[in-house]
Structure 1
Protein backbone atom coordinates (compact mmCIF):
# COMPACT_ATOMS: atom_id res chain seq x y z
CA UNK A 1 0.00 0.00 0.00
CA UNK A 2 2.79 2.47 0.88
CA UNK A 3 4.50 1.93 -2.45
CA UNK A 4 1.20 2.46 -4.28
CA UNK A 5 0.48 5.74 -2.49
CA UNK A 6 4.00 7.15 -2.84
CA UNK A 7 3.94 6.18 -6.50
CA UNK A 8 0.66 8.04 -7.03
CA UNK A 9 2.07 11.14 -5.35
CA UNK A 10 5.28 11.06 -7.39
CA UNK A 11 3.26 10.69 -10.56
CA UNK A 12 1.21 13.73 -9.59
CA UNK A 13 4.39 15.68 -8.81
CA UNK A 14 5.50 15.05 -12.41
CA UNK A 15 2.37 16.58 -13.89
CA UNK A 16 3.26 19.75 -15.85
CA UNK A 17 0.27 21.65 -14.47
CA UNK A 18 0.99 20.94 -10.80
CA UNK A 19 4.14 20.90 -8.68
CA UNK A 20 6.77 19.74 -11.13
CA UNK A 21 8.47 23.14 -11.36
CA UNK A 22 8.35 23.68 -7.58
CA UNK A 23 10.00 20.52 -6.28
CA UNK A 24 13.38 19.28 -7.57
CA UNK A 25 13.43 15.69 -8.79
CA UNK A 26 15.82 14.66 -5.99
CA UNK A 27 13.38 15.84 -3.32
CA UNK A 28 10.21 14.29 -4.74
CA UNK A 29 10.65 10.86 -3.08
CA UNK A 30 10.91 12.53 0.35
CA UNK A 31 7.86 14.70 -0.33
CA UNK A 32 5.92 11.67 -1.53
CA UNK A 33 6.82 9.55 1.50
CA UNK A 34 5.96 12.23 4.06
CA UNK A 35 2.62 12.96 2.40
CA UNK A 36 1.87 9.24 2.09
CA UNK A 37 2.37 8.81 5.84
CA UNK A 38 -0.28 11.48 6.37
CA UNK A 39 -2.72 9.94 3.89
CA UNK A 40 -2.29 6.47 5.42
CA UNK A 41 -2.92 7.74 8.95
CA UNK A 42 0.55 7.23 10.39
CA UNK A 43 0.76 10.78 11.73
CA UNK A 44 -1.59 13.73 11.96
CA UNK A 45 0.39 16.44 10.19
CA UNK A 46 3.55 17.20 8.23
CA UNK A 47 5.26 20.56 7.85
CA UNK A 48 6.41 20.90 4.23
CA UNK A 49 10.13 21.56 4.56
CA UNK A 50 11.47 20.44 1.19
CA UNK A 51 10.28 23.44 -0.84
CA UNK A 52 8.66 26.87 -0.73
CA UNK A 53 5.75 27.29 -3.11
CA UNK A 54 4.34 30.58 -4.35
CA UNK A 55 0.54 30.76 -4.10
CA UNK A 56 0.74 27.67 -1.89
CA UNK A 57 -2.96 27.58 -1.03
CA UNK A 58 -4.07 27.38 -4.67
CA UNK A 59 -1.23 25.14 -5.83
CA UNK A 60 -1.70 22.55 -3.07
CA UNK A 61 -5.50 22.67 -3.40
CA UNK A 62 -5.14 21.79 -7.09
CA UNK A 63 -2.60 19.11 -6.21
CA UNK A 64 -4.87 17.40 -3.68
CA UNK A 65 -7.82 17.66 -6.05
CA UNK A 66 -5.77 15.88 -8.71
CA UNK A 67 -4.84 13.11 -6.25
CA UNK A 68 -8.44 12.66 -5.14
CA UNK A 69 -9.65 12.30 -8.73
CA UNK A 70 -7.58 9.16 -9.17
CA UNK A 71 -7.28 7.88 -5.60
CA UNK A 72 -10.13 9.51 -3.70
CA UNK A 73 -10.48 6.94 -0.93
CA UNK A 74 -6.83 7.31 0.06
CA UNK A 75 -6.58 11.09 0.02
CA UNK A 76 -10.09 12.08 1.08
CA UNK A 77 -8.94 12.89 4.65
CA UNK A 78 -5.91 14.95 3.60
CA UNK A 79 -6.07 18.74 3.74
CA UNK A 80 -3.60 21.57 3.31
CA UNK A 81 -3.38 24.56 5.62
CA UNK A 82 -1.21 27.64 5.15
CA UNK A 83 0.04 29.71 8.08
CA UNK A 84 0.57 33.19 6.66
CA UNK A 85 2.74 34.76 9.38
CA UNK A 86 5.40 32.06 9.04
CA UNK A 87 4.63 31.32 5.35
CA UNK A 88 4.54 27.62 6.14
CA UNK A 89 2.41 24.85 4.68
CA UNK A 90 1.06 21.83 6.54
CA UNK A 91 -0.71 18.75 5.28
CA UNK A 92 -2.92 17.12 7.90
CA UNK A 93 -5.22 14.15 8.28
CA UNK A 94 -8.71 15.30 9.28
CA UNK A 95 -9.65 12.01 10.96
CA UNK A 96 -6.51 11.96 13.13
CA UNK A 97 -7.06 15.63 13.95
CA UNK A 98 -10.50 14.84 15.36
CA UNK A 99 -9.05 11.97 17.38
CA UNK A 100 -6.36 14.31 18.69
CA UNK A 101 -8.99 16.78 19.91
CA UNK A 102 -10.75 14.04 21.84
CA UNK A 103 -7.56 12.72 23.42
CA UNK A 104 -6.32 16.14 24.51
CA UNK A 105 -9.74 17.08 25.85
CA UNK A 106 -9.65 13.92 27.97
CA UNK A 107 -6.01 14.51 29.00
CA UNK A 108 -5.07 11.17 27.41
CA UNK A 109 -2.94 12.50 24.53
CA UNK A 110 0.70 11.48 24.28
CA UNK A 111 1.85 15.08 24.65
CA UNK A 112 3.25 17.18 27.47
CA UNK A 113 3.13 20.96 27.39
CA UNK A 114 6.29 22.76 28.59
CA UNK A 115 5.90 26.39 29.62
CA UNK A 116 8.90 28.50 28.66
CA UNK A 117 9.65 31.73 30.50
CA UNK A 118 11.94 34.53 29.38
CA UNK A 119 13.60 34.23 32.75
CA UNK A 120 13.35 31.13 34.88
CA UNK A 121 13.26 27.39 34.50
CA UNK A 122 10.89 25.61 32.08
CA UNK A 123 8.02 23.79 33.75
CA UNK A 124 5.40 21.20 32.84
CA UNK A 125 1.82 22.43 32.60
CA UNK A 126 -0.80 20.32 34.33
CA UNK A 127 -3.35 20.81 31.55
CA UNK A 128 -3.34 21.76 27.86
CA UNK A 129 -3.51 25.55 27.28
CA UNK A 130 -7.15 26.47 26.53
CA UNK A 131 -6.21 28.59 23.50
CA UNK A 132 -4.32 25.68 21.94
CA UNK A 133 -7.22 23.32 22.51
CA UNK A 134 -9.66 25.88 21.07
CA UNK A 135 -7.54 26.37 17.94
CA UNK A 136 -7.22 22.60 17.47
CA UNK A 137 -10.99 22.21 17.83
CA UNK A 138 -11.60 24.93 15.22
CA UNK A 139 -9.16 23.25 12.84
CA UNK A 140 -10.85 19.87 13.24
CA UNK A 141 -14.31 21.35 12.61
CA UNK A 142 -13.58 23.84 9.83
CA UNK A 143 -10.31 22.45 8.40
CA UNK A 144 -8.91 25.97 8.70
CA UNK A 145 -6.77 27.72 11.29
CA UNK A 146 -8.42 30.47 13.31
CA UNK A 147 -7.28 33.89 12.03
CA UNK A 148 -4.53 35.92 13.71
CA UNK A 149 -3.28 33.29 16.13
CA UNK A 150 -0.55 34.52 18.47
CA UNK A 151 2.86 32.84 18.37
CA UNK A 152 2.43 31.47 21.88
CA UNK A 153 -0.56 29.54 20.51
CA UNK A 154 0.81 28.64 17.09
CA UNK A 155 4.04 27.12 18.39
CA UNK A 156 2.48 24.50 20.71
CA UNK A 157 -0.35 23.89 18.23
CA UNK A 158 2.21 23.00 15.56
CA UNK A 159 3.99 20.68 18.00
CA UNK A 160 0.77 18.87 18.80
CA UNK A 161 -0.19 18.46 15.14
CA UNK A 162 3.25 17.23 14.14
CA UNK A 163 3.11 14.50 16.75
CA UNK A 164 5.76 15.75 19.15
CA UNK A 165 5.31 14.30 22.64
CA UNK A 166 6.58 17.63 23.97
CA UNK A 167 5.03 20.96 22.90
CA UNK A 168 6.68 24.22 23.94
CA UNK A 169 4.45 27.06 25.18
CA UNK A 170 6.40 30.36 25.29
CA UNK A 171 5.08 33.08 27.57
CA UNK A 172 5.79 35.83 25.01
CA UNK A 173 7.94 36.29 21.93
CA UNK A 174 9.87 39.24 20.55
CA UNK A 175 12.89 39.69 18.30
CA UNK A 176 15.14 39.53 21.35
CA UNK A 177 13.48 36.48 22.92
CA UNK A 178 15.82 33.70 23.98
CA UNK A 179 14.54 30.39 25.26
CA UNK A 180 16.26 27.35 26.75
CA UNK A 181 19.70 28.98 26.66
CA UNK A 182 22.25 26.67 28.31
CA UNK A 183 19.45 24.33 29.41
CA UNK A 184 20.42 20.64 29.00
CA UNK A 185 18.11 19.18 26.38
CA UNK A 186 17.41 15.64 25.32
CA UNK A 187 17.18 15.77 21.52
CA UNK A 188 15.22 12.89 20.00
CA UNK A 189 15.44 11.74 16.39
CA UNK A 190 12.93 9.16 15.18
CA UNK A 191 13.85 7.23 12.04
CA UNK A 192 11.46 5.14 9.97
CA UNK A 193 13.18 2.14 8.35
CA UNK A 194 12.09 -0.37 5.74
CA UNK A 195 13.98 -3.28 4.14
CA UNK A 196 13.10 -1.86 0.73
CA UNK A 197 14.69 1.55 1.43
CA UNK A 198 18.34 2.38 0.84
CA UNK A 199 18.44 4.70 3.89
CA UNK A 200 16.26 5.57 6.91
CA UNK A 201 13.76 8.41 6.76
CA UNK A 202 13.59 11.05 9.49
CA UNK A 203 10.08 10.75 10.91
CA UNK A 204 10.27 13.17 13.85
CA UNK A 205 12.88 15.32 15.55
CA UNK A 206 12.23 17.30 18.74
CA UNK A 207 13.73 18.21 22.10
CA UNK A 208 12.74 18.24 25.75
CA UNK A 209 14.43 19.77 28.82
CA UNK A 210 16.30 16.84 30.33
CA UNK A 211 15.12 17.46 33.90
CA UNK A 212 11.40 17.45 33.06
CA UNK A 213 10.59 14.08 31.50
CA UNK A 214 12.37 10.75 31.76
CA UNK A 215 13.81 9.50 28.49
CA UNK A 216 12.21 6.09 28.85
CA UNK A 217 8.78 7.71 29.19
CA UNK A 218 9.28 9.70 26.00
CA UNK A 219 10.47 6.69 24.01
CA UNK A 220 7.65 4.52 25.35
CA UNK A 221 5.03 7.13 24.41
CA UNK A 222 6.43 7.34 20.89
CA UNK A 223 6.34 3.58 20.46
CA UNK A 224 2.81 3.23 21.80
CA UNK A 225 1.57 5.98 19.53
CA UNK A 226 3.36 5.32 16.25
CA UNK A 227 4.68 1.77 16.19
CA UNK A 228 1.34 0.02 15.46
CA UNK A 229 0.57 2.43 12.60
CA UNK A 230 3.98 2.01 10.99
CA UNK A 231 4.14 -1.74 11.61
CA UNK A 232 1.08 -2.25 9.39
CA UNK A 233 3.13 -0.81 6.52
CA UNK A 234 6.20 -2.90 7.24
CA UNK A 235 8.09 0.06 8.69
CA UNK A 236 10.20 -0.05 11.85
CA UNK A 237 10.56 2.97 14.14
CA UNK A 238 13.92 3.65 15.80
CA UNK A 239 14.38 6.38 18.38
CA UNK A 240 17.82 7.86 19.13
CA UNK A 241 18.60 10.63 21.59
CA UNK A 242 21.49 12.80 22.66
CA UNK A 243 22.11 15.40 25.35
CA UNK A 244 22.78 18.90 24.00
CA UNK A 245 23.24 22.40 25.44
CA UNK A 246 22.62 25.38 23.15
CA UNK A 247 22.83 29.15 23.31
CA UNK A 248 19.21 29.34 22.19
CA UNK A 249 16.54 27.09 20.72
CA UNK A 250 14.49 28.09 17.68
CA UNK A 251 10.78 27.62 18.29
Structure 2
Protein backbone atom coordinates (compact mmCIF):
# COMPACT_ATOMS: atom_id res chain seq x y z
CA UNK A 1 0.00 0.00 0.00
CA UNK A 2 1.45 3.37 -0.97
CA UNK A 3 2.13 5.90 1.75
CA UNK A 4 -0.15 8.65 0.34
CA UNK A 5 -3.14 6.28 0.67
CA UNK A 6 -2.25 5.06 4.14
CA UNK A 7 -3.44 8.12 6.08
CA UNK A 8 -6.88 7.78 4.51
CA UNK A 9 -7.04 4.11 5.51
CA UNK A 10 -6.19 5.01 9.10
CA UNK A 11 -8.69 7.87 9.15
CA UNK A 12 -11.44 5.58 7.88
CA UNK A 13 -10.68 3.09 10.65
CA UNK A 14 -11.08 5.85 13.24
CA UNK A 15 -14.37 7.02 11.71
CA UNK A 16 -15.73 3.48 11.85
CA UNK A 17 -14.62 3.13 15.49
CA UNK A 18 -16.36 6.41 16.37
CA UNK A 19 -19.56 5.18 14.76
CA UNK A 20 -19.31 1.94 16.75
CA UNK A 21 -19.58 3.78 20.07
CA UNK A 22 -22.94 4.92 21.38
CA UNK A 23 -21.69 8.25 22.73
CA UNK A 24 -19.39 9.20 19.88
CA UNK A 25 -21.74 8.21 17.06
CA UNK A 26 -23.98 11.07 18.21
CA UNK A 27 -21.42 13.58 16.94
CA UNK A 28 -22.27 15.20 13.63
CA UNK A 29 -20.71 13.70 10.51
CA UNK A 30 -18.43 16.72 10.17
CA UNK A 31 -17.25 16.46 13.78
CA UNK A 32 -16.55 12.74 13.38
CA UNK A 33 -14.53 13.52 10.26
CA UNK A 34 -12.51 16.19 12.07
CA UNK A 35 -12.03 13.95 15.11
CA UNK A 36 -10.83 11.04 12.97
CA UNK A 37 -8.33 13.15 11.05
CA UNK A 38 -6.87 14.76 14.17
CA UNK A 39 -6.48 11.38 15.85
CA UNK A 40 -4.91 9.96 12.66
CA UNK A 41 -2.30 12.73 12.63
CA UNK A 42 -1.39 11.85 16.22
CA UNK A 43 -1.11 8.14 15.44
CA UNK A 44 1.08 8.90 12.41
CA UNK A 45 3.48 11.03 14.52
CA UNK A 46 2.69 14.32 12.79
CA UNK A 47 2.51 16.00 16.17
CA UNK A 48 2.83 15.17 19.85
CA UNK A 49 -0.69 15.86 21.11
CA UNK A 50 -4.18 16.92 20.12
CA UNK A 51 -6.61 18.70 22.45
CA UNK A 52 -10.10 17.28 21.84
CA UNK A 53 -12.05 20.44 21.08
CA UNK A 54 -14.75 19.04 18.78
CA UNK A 55 -16.66 17.14 21.45
CA UNK A 56 -17.67 17.52 25.08
CA UNK A 57 -18.79 14.12 26.30
CA UNK A 58 -19.65 12.56 29.67
CA UNK A 59 -17.04 10.27 31.22
CA UNK A 60 -14.32 10.91 28.61
CA UNK A 61 -11.76 8.74 30.42
CA UNK A 62 -13.80 5.59 29.89
CA UNK A 63 -15.19 6.52 26.48
CA UNK A 64 -11.78 7.33 24.98
CA UNK A 65 -10.17 4.31 26.62
CA UNK A 66 -12.83 2.17 24.92
CA UNK A 67 -12.17 3.93 21.60
CA UNK A 68 -8.48 3.04 21.78
CA UNK A 69 -9.33 -0.55 22.73
CA UNK A 70 -11.35 -0.80 19.51
CA UNK A 71 -8.59 0.72 17.39
CA UNK A 72 -5.52 -1.13 18.67
CA UNK A 73 -6.43 -4.54 17.21
CA UNK A 74 -7.17 -2.84 13.87
CA UNK A 75 -3.67 -1.41 13.44
CA UNK A 76 -0.53 -1.45 15.57
CA UNK A 77 0.09 2.31 15.22
CA UNK A 78 -2.68 2.90 17.76
CA UNK A 79 -0.57 1.11 20.37
CA UNK A 80 1.41 4.34 20.51
CA UNK A 81 -1.60 6.54 21.29
CA UNK A 82 -2.87 7.31 24.79
CA UNK A 83 -5.60 9.50 26.26
CA UNK A 84 -4.52 11.98 28.93
CA UNK A 85 -7.16 13.73 31.03
CA UNK A 86 -6.52 17.09 32.70
CA UNK A 87 -8.92 16.99 35.68
CA UNK A 88 -9.04 20.68 36.63
CA UNK A 89 -10.15 21.92 33.23
CA UNK A 90 -11.76 18.59 32.23
CA UNK A 91 -9.79 18.62 28.99
CA UNK A 92 -8.79 15.55 27.04
CA UNK A 93 -5.61 15.08 25.03
CA UNK A 94 -4.69 12.26 22.70
CA UNK A 95 -0.91 11.92 22.69
CA UNK A 96 1.72 10.05 20.74
CA UNK A 97 3.60 8.19 23.47
CA UNK A 98 6.86 7.95 21.52
CA UNK A 99 6.91 11.72 21.11
CA UNK A 100 5.98 12.28 24.78
CA UNK A 101 8.54 9.86 26.19
CA UNK A 102 11.35 11.33 24.11
CA UNK A 103 11.00 14.49 26.22
CA UNK A 104 10.23 18.11 25.44
CA UNK A 105 12.61 20.59 23.86
CA UNK A 106 11.46 23.55 25.94
CA UNK A 107 14.37 25.60 24.61
CA UNK A 108 12.39 25.77 21.35
CA UNK A 109 9.39 27.32 23.12
CA UNK A 110 9.05 31.00 24.04
CA UNK A 111 7.19 31.33 27.36
CA UNK A 112 5.22 34.57 27.59
CA UNK A 113 4.00 35.81 30.98
CA UNK A 114 0.56 37.38 30.55
CA UNK A 115 0.38 40.56 32.56
CA UNK A 116 -0.66 44.11 31.67
CA UNK A 117 2.48 44.28 29.55
CA UNK A 118 3.31 40.72 28.40
CA UNK A 119 6.85 39.62 29.22
CA UNK A 120 9.13 37.10 27.50
CA UNK A 121 10.46 34.77 30.20
CA UNK A 122 14.01 33.49 30.18
CA UNK A 123 12.78 29.89 30.15
CA UNK A 124 9.98 27.62 31.35
CA UNK A 125 8.77 28.24 34.92
CA UNK A 126 10.00 25.48 37.29
CA UNK A 127 6.49 24.13 37.90
CA UNK A 128 5.90 23.81 34.16
CA UNK A 129 9.19 21.98 33.70
CA UNK A 130 8.35 19.63 36.59
CA UNK A 131 4.93 18.84 35.09
CA UNK A 132 6.43 18.13 31.66
CA UNK A 133 9.13 15.89 33.10
CA UNK A 134 6.53 13.98 35.10
CA UNK A 135 4.33 13.63 32.05
CA UNK A 136 7.22 12.17 30.02
CA UNK A 137 7.78 9.43 32.59
CA UNK A 138 4.23 8.65 33.75
CA UNK A 139 1.87 9.86 30.97
CA UNK A 140 -0.17 11.47 33.76
CA UNK A 141 -0.91 15.01 34.89
CA UNK A 142 -1.29 15.67 38.64
CA UNK A 143 -4.90 16.43 39.66
CA UNK A 144 -4.25 19.80 41.32
CA UNK A 145 -2.21 21.81 38.82
CA UNK A 146 -3.23 25.50 38.60
CA UNK A 147 -3.96 27.23 35.26
CA UNK A 148 -0.57 28.97 35.48
CA UNK A 149 0.93 25.50 34.97
CA UNK A 150 -1.62 23.64 32.86
CA UNK A 151 -1.97 26.34 30.18
CA UNK A 152 1.73 26.50 29.21
CA UNK A 153 2.01 22.70 29.54
CA UNK A 154 -0.81 22.40 27.02
CA UNK A 155 0.97 24.85 24.72
CA UNK A 156 4.11 22.72 24.76
CA UNK A 157 2.13 19.51 24.22
CA UNK A 158 0.32 20.98 21.23
CA UNK A 159 3.56 22.06 19.58
CA UNK A 160 3.15 25.82 19.90
CA UNK A 161 6.41 27.79 19.58
CA UNK A 162 4.82 30.33 21.97
CA UNK A 163 3.28 29.21 25.29
CA UNK A 164 1.28 31.62 27.44
CA UNK A 165 1.78 31.68 31.21
CA UNK A 166 -1.19 33.48 32.86
CA UNK A 167 -0.28 35.58 35.86
CA UNK A 168 -3.84 35.61 37.21
CA UNK A 169 -5.31 32.43 38.65
CA UNK A 170 -8.88 33.63 38.07
CA UNK A 171 -10.71 31.50 35.48
CA UNK A 172 -12.67 34.57 34.30
CA UNK A 173 -9.59 36.76 33.83
CA UNK A 174 -9.35 38.59 30.51
CA UNK A 175 -6.10 38.31 28.60
CA UNK A 176 -4.74 40.43 25.75
CA UNK A 177 -7.98 42.40 25.32
CA UNK A 178 -7.74 44.60 22.21
CA UNK A 179 -4.07 43.72 21.82
CA UNK A 180 -2.62 43.33 18.35
CA UNK A 181 -1.66 39.71 17.85
CA UNK A 182 0.43 37.79 15.35
CA UNK A 183 -1.74 34.76 14.58
CA UNK A 184 -0.23 31.62 13.06
CA UNK A 185 -2.13 28.70 11.56
CA UNK A 186 -0.75 25.42 10.24
CA UNK A 187 -2.97 23.35 7.97
CA UNK A 188 -2.52 20.10 6.08
CA UNK A 189 -4.05 19.31 2.71
CA UNK A 190 -4.41 16.37 0.38
CA UNK A 191 -5.68 16.39 -3.22
CA UNK A 192 -8.64 14.27 -2.13
CA UNK A 193 -9.85 16.74 0.51
CA UNK A 194 -12.28 19.55 -0.16
CA UNK A 195 -10.61 21.98 2.27
CA UNK A 196 -7.36 22.03 4.28
CA UNK A 197 -7.47 20.67 7.83
CA UNK A 198 -6.21 22.94 10.62
CA UNK A 199 -3.35 21.29 12.48
CA UNK A 200 -2.73 24.04 15.04
CA UNK A 201 -3.40 27.72 15.59
CA UNK A 202 -1.84 30.05 18.16
CA UNK A 203 -0.92 33.69 18.70
CA UNK A 204 1.82 35.98 19.99
CA UNK A 205 1.52 39.63 21.09
CA UNK A 206 2.75 41.71 18.15
CA UNK A 207 4.40 44.28 20.43
CA UNK A 208 6.43 41.56 22.12
CA UNK A 209 7.44 40.11 18.75
CA UNK A 210 8.62 43.56 17.66
CA UNK A 211 10.70 43.84 20.86
CA UNK A 212 12.24 40.37 20.40
CA UNK A 213 12.41 39.77 16.63
CA UNK A 214 15.15 37.14 16.85
CA UNK A 215 12.97 35.02 19.13
CA UNK A 216 9.39 35.97 18.27
CA UNK A 217 9.56 37.60 14.84
CA UNK A 218 7.28 36.14 12.17
CA UNK A 219 10.20 34.94 10.02
CA UNK A 220 11.58 32.95 12.96
CA UNK A 221 8.20 31.47 13.92
CA UNK A 222 7.29 30.50 10.35
CA UNK A 223 10.67 28.84 9.81
CA UNK A 224 10.34 26.94 13.10
CA UNK A 225 6.87 25.64 12.24
CA UNK A 226 8.02 24.51 8.82
CA UNK A 227 11.09 22.75 10.19
CA UNK A 228 9.12 21.03 12.95
CA UNK A 229 6.09 19.73 11.07
CA UNK A 230 6.70 19.70 7.34
CA UNK A 231 9.11 16.72 6.99
CA UNK A 232 6.74 14.16 8.52
CA UNK A 233 3.71 15.62 6.77
CA UNK A 234 5.46 15.42 3.39
CA UNK A 235 6.43 11.79 4.10
CA UNK A 236 2.72 11.00 4.27
CA UNK A 237 2.01 12.60 0.91
CA UNK A 238 0.33 15.61 2.49
CA UNK A 239 1.01 19.29 1.94
CA UNK A 240 1.49 21.77 4.79
CA UNK A 241 0.22 25.33 4.62
CA UNK A 242 1.52 27.90 7.12
CA UNK A 243 -0.22 31.27 7.38
CA UNK A 244 0.53 34.42 9.38
CA UNK A 245 -2.02 37.18 9.95
CA UNK A 246 -2.36 40.11 12.36
CA UNK A 247 -5.56 40.43 14.37
CA UNK A 248 -7.11 42.35 17.24
CA UNK A 249 -9.57 40.40 19.41
CA UNK A 250 -11.69 41.19 22.45
CA UNK A 251 -9.86 38.60 24.51
CA UNK A 252 -7.75 35.49 24.10
CA UNK A 253 -9.27 32.25 25.39
CA UNK A 254 -6.68 30.07 27.10
Q: Same fold (TM over 0.5)?
A: yes
Number of residue equivalences: 242
Q: 1:16 to 1:63 in 2, by over 3 A?
A: closer
1:11 aligns with 2:46: no
Match of 1:27 among 24, 31, 42: 31
2:61 match: secondary structure? helix
* TM-aligned CA deviation for residue 41 of structure 1: 0.4
Q: 1:174 to 1:67 in 2, by over 3 A?
A: same
Q: What is the root-mean-square deviation of aligned Cα atoms in Å?
A: 1.5
Question: 2: CA distance between counterparts of 1:98 and 1:175?
Answer: 30
1:173 aligns with 2:193: no
Residues 12, 18 of structure 1: 8 Å contact kept: no
Question: 1: CA distance between counterparts of 2:137 and 2:217?
Answer: 35
* TM-aligned CA deviation for residue 17 of structure 1: 5.3
Residue of structure 1 equivalent to 2:143: 147
Question: 1: CA distance between counterparts of 2:35 and 2:158?
Answer: 15
5+ unaligned residues in a row in structure 2: which ranges?
1-5, 210-215
Question: 2: CA distance between counterparts of 1:15 and 1:141?
Answer: 32
1:112 aligns with 2:110: yes
5+ unaligned residues in a row in structure 1: which ranges?
none
Question: 1: CA distance between counterparts of 2:148 and 2:184?
Answer: 23
Match of 1:201 among 197, 201, 224: 197
Report the TM-score when normalising by structure 1: 0.91
Match of 1:230 among 221, 228, 233: 233
2:73 match: secondary structure? helix
Residue of structure 2 equivalent to 1:134: 130
1:75 aligns with 2:78: yes
1:125 aligns with 2:121: yes
* TM-aligned CA deviation for residue 51 of structure 1: 1.1
